[in-house]
Amino acid sequence: MNTGKVYLVGAGCGDYDLITVRGMEILKHCDVIIYDALIDKNLLDFAPEYAEKICVGKRSGHHSETQAHIHEILIQQALQGKTVVRLKGGDPFVFGRGGEECLALQNAGIAYHIIPGISSCIAAAEFAGIPVTHRQISQGFHVITAHTALGRKEIEQYTKLKETLVILMGFEHLRQIANDFINAFMPIDTPVAVISHAGTPEQKVVRSCLINIADDAEKAKLSAPAVIVIGKTAGMQLLSDIQKPLQNISVTVTGTKKFSSKLSDMLREYGTQVQSLPYLEIVPYQNDSVLENLQTYQWLVLTSPNGAEIFIQQMRKQKKDIRILANLKIAVIGSGTAEILQNYGIYPDLIPEVYTSDALAKALVNHVGNQDKILILRAEKGSPALTEQLDNAGIIYHDIKIYDIVSTGMTAHVKTDFLVFASVSGAEAFFENSTVDQNTKIICIGDMTAKALQKHAVSGYFKAGTQNAEGILEIILQEAKNQ
């Protein structure tokens, strides 16, 4: 039997990009991901499309799987010859029960590898500007869980320590923990910090003292997951005064996974709280004949990054390289589509100044020769503006649909500051199943998407100046200034 192997991967504390490089590489080549509730779900997007994703989300009050059943799942998947990633928040061996999982795999004769992650026991404090060790203040630190902290004997021991104390999984017992330390004669003015959702745009930090921390955390409406830091270093705040321009702004990004991922990454760089809602799926059409007659055309037209990706995939599938494009001129709708091609060493000959189907059509009319034939590869519901102008100009073209965009049926009620639509199909699919709060500002790309919003009685929307992620970001930055 060809037995697979299991990788216990620490996802780190906070946003998806805090995982290690090695952890990310393993994730990109796995067959199965078995993940916990506390990981950033964006990490799942880095796995191959075919990878199975199994949530075993262990979280306080919401244990979806027993530890014994998790062991069974790991073993069963590996016995099928699969490469399995056991993705755990923080580090697998810091209160993550990774040791138990390794023993179960070892007993079953299954190979496993451990890839460390950055534990919240140090990372959460760092994100709040708190060093867990600092010369002349704290020469060490102790990490415990709430279950340990609530023991009477241990509490009395901890009150005598001069080092920093870090408590994990203790937020729901914060008041009891504080009272226990006070009853064990820890000074009531001992600095305490609680860091909620550390390492994410939703991060909140409350700094107080032992006697007031529970009330102050309640007033600030903190929520789990949260890390509690007790000791003199908890009173430190080693943070830059630089504040990101969108730090208090929340945005819901809709559309396909690829577009959502790109825009979300850009927004996070500005400190935005991003909610991704990728309820659209790309469904490529099986059309092996697309590449057979390329030599009969003078122009190739691609109207979206998705179309460009599918075209490249088709070339790979048929083992064709860029030499088959030698006699073709290539026109694309915008910089995003051009970027996909450039990644493969293909540089478009024509990009309109305005990234719309109408502008692309006008540019083609001005550049295509009288005898030239055009091959258009695009989505099932591509804009008619392109072909209407080519018809009017008497240009010969072949319009082939190489993919469709379909809704997954996901439902949601969006209540963020902004909601972004990048396509007509995205707007149509959203309003079929979901709703939006009246105070949420809507941003769209292009005239056609704007018309789709109008069909659903949406009038107070913003339209991006350029039809790409940068155009969306520009509007959000401008509106954030006006708030």
Residue 237 corresponds to which tokens in the numbers above?
């705040």
Residue the block writes with tokens 């005064």: 241
Give buried/exposed letters for 366-397 (b at 16+ CB in 10 A, else e): eebeeeeebbbbbbeebbebbbebbeeeebeb
Q: From residue 214, how far is each of 12, 20, 199, 257 by CA, in Å?
A: 27, 34, 22, 40
- How far apart are the C-alpha atoms of 467 and 312, rounded to whole Å? 23
Q: Which candidate in 15, 31, 36, 40 is catalytic?
A: 36
- Strand duo 396-407 + 273-284: pairing: antiparallel
Task: Based on the residue annotation, tell me whether 329 is a catalytic residue of this protein.
Answer: no
Q: Which candidate in 88, 91, 169, 441 is catalytic?
A: 169
Q: Decide if 74 contacts 105 (C-beta within 8 A).
A: yes
DSSP per-residue string spanning 89-147 = SB-TTSSS-HHHHHHHHHHTT-EEEEE----HHHHHHHHTT--S-BTTTBS-EEEEEHH
Q: Which candidate in 58, 82, 329, 441 is catalytic?
A: 58
The SS3 of residue 190 is coil
CB atoms within 10 A of CB 440: 17
Residue 246 corresponds to which tokens in the numbers above?
């969108």
Task: Based on the residue annotation, tell me whether 437 is a catalytic residue of this protein.
Answer: no
DSSP per-residue string spanning 203-245 = -EEEEEETTTHHHHHHHTT--SSEEEEESGGGG-----S---T
- How far apart are the C-alpha atoms of 166 and 310, rounded to whole Å? 49
CB atoms within 10 A of CB 50: 7
Task: Based on the residue annotation, tell me whether 257 is a catalytic residue of this protein.
Answer: no
The SS3 of residue 452 is helix
Q: From residue 157, how far is each of 13, 133, 150, 152, 361 by CA, in Å?
A: 28, 19, 12, 9, 76
Angle between helices 67-79 and 98-107 (to 10 degrees): 50
Strand order through the sheet with 111-115: 52-55, 32-35, 83-88, 5-10, 111-115
Strand order through the sheet with 418-421: 329-332, 299-302, 373-379, 396-407, 273-284, 250-256, 418-421, 441-444, 461-463
Residue 223 corresponds to which tokens in the numbers above?
């929520």
Q: Decide if 479 contacts 466 (C-beta within 8 A).
A: no
Closest CA relative to residue 408, chosen from 255, 293, 268, 203: 255
Provide the annotated active-site residues: 36, 58, 169
